[in-house]
Amino acid sequence: MSEQIHVPTVAELVAKGEKADILFWVGCAGSFDERAQKITKAFVKILDNVGVNYAILGKEESCTGDPAKRAGNEFLFQMQAMANIATLNAYDITKIVTTCPHCFNTLKNEYPSLGGKYEVIHHTTFLQQLIDEGKLTFGADPFKGKKITYHDSCYLGRANGVYDAPRRILEALDAELVEMKRCKSKGLCCGAGGAQMFKEAEKGTKEINIERTEEAIETGASIISANCPFCTTMMSDGVKHANKEGAVEVLDIAELVAQAKDL
């Protein structure tokens, strides 16, 4: 039987005359993809453990429209965006946290021109803020001496310049961070962005995710840490392709934090 976690919805809180401090935007992957659901659960457990007053939209949340926009369907993107903005504004949402860099980028940079102006934070930045505020602390750490490499997702890194927060979290976990040759502003895409996640790749000599995973494995790290459900999928496929499933794990930063907290 799957683990049951109660997550409050905005509608539930409004019915009680209450309001959440932050809206957790779960995203399509975090809602429907079996692997990404584990990241969602890990993040929710952290929020509960720290005592953050949050809520989700639940069935009122729709796709941000990122895949449609990247695939060239601007009309569908605007339809999806306008529907979401109407819902968010009706609930007077001001602060959004999401575990998906694609949702983060779209909500932060592309919704304002359509009337959706919010403070949007990626979960790695949010977790780093909790550490800075002393709300998120770690005791005896299971990652001491473990080599971890970190993959910069395109939409968090190059698109939005967030490089330090995830690395500072790994530092707080007392892990040994070993960087790939291509990292930060020179990081290599996992191969899923730009709606590539939903189509077959064009003909070439090597899949991008295979090349990127090989770089990660070359560091000698036993854990590849990611910040994006798409990257997690692509890197996991790369690990399987290299027959390294027993030796190398692909985990989101939230999952590492939850493990360290024994949640």
| Predicted confidence (pLDDT) per residue in 169-196, tens digit | 999 998 899 999 999 999 999 987 666 6
- Chain segment 7-47, per-residue pLDDT in tens: 999 999 999 999 999 999 999 999 999 999 999 999 999 99
Instruction: Quote the CA–CA distance of 184 and 152 in Å, as a whole number.
Output: 6
Q: Report which secondary-structure segment, H or E, holds 248.
A: none
* Cα separation, 240 vs 4, whole angstroms: 29
* CATH code given to domain 10-128: 3.40.50
**Domain-wise residue ranges, the chain:** 10-128, 138-260
- Please report which confidence band the pLDDT of residue 199 belongs to, taking 50, 70 and 90 as the band edges: low
Question: 10-128 and 138-260: same fold?
Answer: yes
CA angle 37, 39, 45 (to 5 degrees): 105
What count of Cα atoms within 13 Å lies in the side-chain half-sphere of residue 153? 29
45-81: pLDDT as tens digits: 999 999 999 999 999 999 999 999 999 999 999 999 9
User: What does the pLDDT average to over 143-154?
Assistant: 91
Question: Rounded distance, CA 158 to CA 155, Å?
Answer: 6
* Residue 65 near residue 113, CB atoms below 8 Å: no
pLDDT above 90 (res 145): no
Residue 169 and residue 125: Cα distance in Å, rounded?
9
- CA neighbours within 13 Å on the CB side: how many for 221? 25
**Fold of the CATH domain 138-260:** Rossmann fold (3.40.50)
Cα 40 to Cα 30: distance, rounded to the nearest angstrom: 6
What pLDDT is recorded for position 61?
98
pTM of the model: 0.94
Which pLDDT belongs to residue 198? 65
Question: Which pairing describes strands 54-55 and 223-226: parallel, antiparallel, or unpaired?
Answer: unpaired
Element (H or E) spanning 168, and its range? Answer: helix 164-172
Residue owning tokens 């500072």:
168
State mean pLDDT over 204-221: 90
Average pLDDT, the chain: 93
3-state secondary structure of 7: coil
How far is 151 from 165, CA to CA, in rounded Å? 13
